[in-house]
Amino acid sequence: MAKDAKKNELMLSSSGTVKSNRSNNFASVCSKRGQKGINQDCAVVWEEFGCQEDTIFCGIFDGHGPWGHIVAKRVREWVPPSLLCNWQKNLIASTSTEELDMDQLNTNIHHQFDIWKQSYLKTYSDIDLELKQHPGIDSFRSGTTALTIIKQGEHLVIANVGDSRAVLATTSDDGNLVPLQLTVDFKPNIPGFSSPRPLPMSNSLFLSFPLSFPPTLSHVRAFNLRSTVHSPVTFSAPTSYLASHRKFLYIPSLTMHSNPKLAATQLDVSQLDDLSDFEKLLSPSGHISICGFGSLLSEKSARSTFPNLLNFRVAKLNGFRRVFAHVAPIFFDRGIAKPETKEISSLSVEPCEGETLIVTVFEIQKSEIPAFMDRELEFRFLAVLPETLDGEPFANPGVLCARYSDKEFFQIRCKGSKDIYFQHYGRYNIDKIWRDDILPCRVYLRHCVLAAKNLGDIAYNNFLDHTFLGDRTTTIRTYLATTGSGIMEEEPPESLKSRYGG
């Protein structure tokens, strides 16, 4: 059903507008990236929800934490079909007759509302469990809010998890627009609120706050944040609010952090799973931007890998840090890995709020994308929007190779095959790719430091102070001054001097 909705242009999940030919509804979505790196906001609008001409589904999902953008996207994909399925089941179960009397159901507003409420409870409970068990999501540090609205005829049903907001615009007697906030931010220790006294009008608005028993932080703040609150949060749900003079419904994301200077359209794809996702990022000339953070800080190294690259330049990337926590088989191939001292790590990056990296950006041709994906097989591909050093966003997004997980790599990239894993890692006696107890490969670290130094003082100091060992505490500046002292004075093997010369 979701595929049909997309095909018939009844579903919208990125900035734009959508309008059904058979409906007077009109929906518009707009998202702007702020100053904190990846835009973690996702939205979806689905006209004729459940093949009902008078029904529309709207949702805002604001991720938070290192993988919040991924959680938000997953929840955006899961909620509508799951909610629809549960609603249909509850609708059937709510009648004891063989044929549904839809007219009777539609006139029984409270009964209709209760069906949606139970459907939301089941949907959110299932999705929270799915996120907790998902092998590729850190369920302790990442999650998302979920503010969704069902408009069915003249009725609205709102379900809110977290601190996104819905505002209803109405008109006063003198014709001016008057905003009415429909939701409350659900955070620990925020007192409950009361709705205004219902007005005797004909249109109905029901607010349903799922999980309305004394909740944990994971329930009231967002999906998937696994922290327990010992003192329950108190709140009350309005029974109904009746309003005439409705004009439009506005659903902003509270943590958009938008800045007029940094206004940029949200990327619809945050994680790139296949070639079609990469192709969405192509420039009009058919090129795609690559972000370099390790050896690709060196233009010479970049050109040895991508001989036809264009426009090699320095950029800034917010919301990420470098970490030496990735076992690199290429170091074993080239004889520069030292497993006896655990000096076997190359660089990876991971989301980290408040951190900023100086990276390089360059363009490669569309035809080079498959080889790039094969070469960086063990990484998670993310779409990011770099900035100039002055803070101006680039015109086109770029691809960043971020930390993956061992379980995802085996199940997805190796398709669960031990033989495929052996070809990539097992033959080097590597049973775990992502480790926090390893140290940088000495030759590789020296190369990266020299490459950063060649880019200038800003890039050099950024590398030293925003690149960490696997403990996420020790910076490379500290490491080179202590345990790693002497690394910068060591020459690489003669056969590798050209490749690892900075």
pLDDT tens-digit readout, 484-500: 999 999 999 999 988 88
pLDDT at 440 over 70: yes
Read off the pLDDT band of 23 (50, 70, 90): low
Instruction: Report d(CA 163, CA 80) in Å as an integer.
Output: 20
pLDDT mean over 233-243: 33
What pLDDT sits at residue 391?
87
pLDDT tens per residue, range 27-49: 677 766 655 556 678 888 888 88
Q: How many CB atoms lie within 10 A of CB 268?
A: 16
If residue 372 lies in a helix (H) or strand (E), which one and from where to where?
helix 369-375
pLDDT mean over 320-331: 93
Per-range mean pLDDT, top range of 16-20, 47-51, 97-101: 47-51
Read off the pLDDT band of 238 (50, 70, 90): very low
What pLDDT sits at residue 419?
93
How far is CA 492 from each of CA 293, 337, 435, 485, rounded to the nearest angstrom?
20, 12, 25, 16
3-state secondary structure of 97: coil
Could you tell me what percent of the chain has a pLDDT over 70? 70
Ranking 13-22, 223-232, 478-487 by mean pLDDT, the lowest is 223-232
pLDDT tens per residue, range 409-426: 888 888 899 999 998 898
What pLDDT sits at residue 205?
39
Q: Which residue's structure tokens are 């409420």?
A: 117
pLDDT at 438 over 50: yes
Burial class from Cβ neighbours inside 10 Å (0-12, 13-18, 19+) for residue 223 reads buried
Read off the pLDDT band of 206 (50, 70, 90): very low
Instruction: Report d(CA 472, CA 23) in Å as an integer.
Output: 53
pLDDT mean over 355-366: 94
CA 108 to chain CA centroid, nearest Å: 39
What pLDDT sits at residue 403?
87
pLDDT tens per residue, range 364-393: 999 999 999 999 988 999 988 899 998 888
Structure tokens that stand for 374 in this block: 């094969």
Read off the pLDDT band of 3 (50, 70, 90): low
pLDDT at 263 over 70: no
Instruction: Report, in this order, helix, strand and coil percent for the chain, each rounded to 5.
Output: 30, 25, 40
Mean pLDDT over all residues of the chain? 76
pLDDT mean over 413-440: 91
Per-range mean pLDDT, top range of 120-134, 220-234, 300-314: 300-314
Q: What is the pTM of this model?
A: 0.54
What pLDDT sits at residue 347?
94
What pLDDT sits at residue 63?
84
Read off the pLDDT band of 199 (50, 70, 90): very low
Per-range mean pLDDT, top range of 115-119, 167-171, 257-261, 488-492: 488-492
Read off the pLDDT band of 166 (50, 70, 90): confident
What pLDDT sits at residue 53?
80
Read off the pLDDT band of 304 (50, 70, 90): very high
More confident residue, 196 or 68: 68
pLDDT mean over 173-202: 55
More confident residue, 105 or 129: 129
Domains of the chain: 2-260 (3.60.40), 271-496 (3.10.490.10)
pLDDT tens per residue, range 139-158: 666 788 888 888 887 788 88
pLDDT mean over 461-476: 95
Number of H-type helices and E-type strands within the chain: 14, 19
What pLDDT sits at residue 314?
96
Read off the pLDDT band of 289 (50, 70, 90): very high
Are residues 231 and 150 in contact, defined by beta-carbon separation less than 8 angstroms?
A: no
pLDDT mean over 5-21: 56
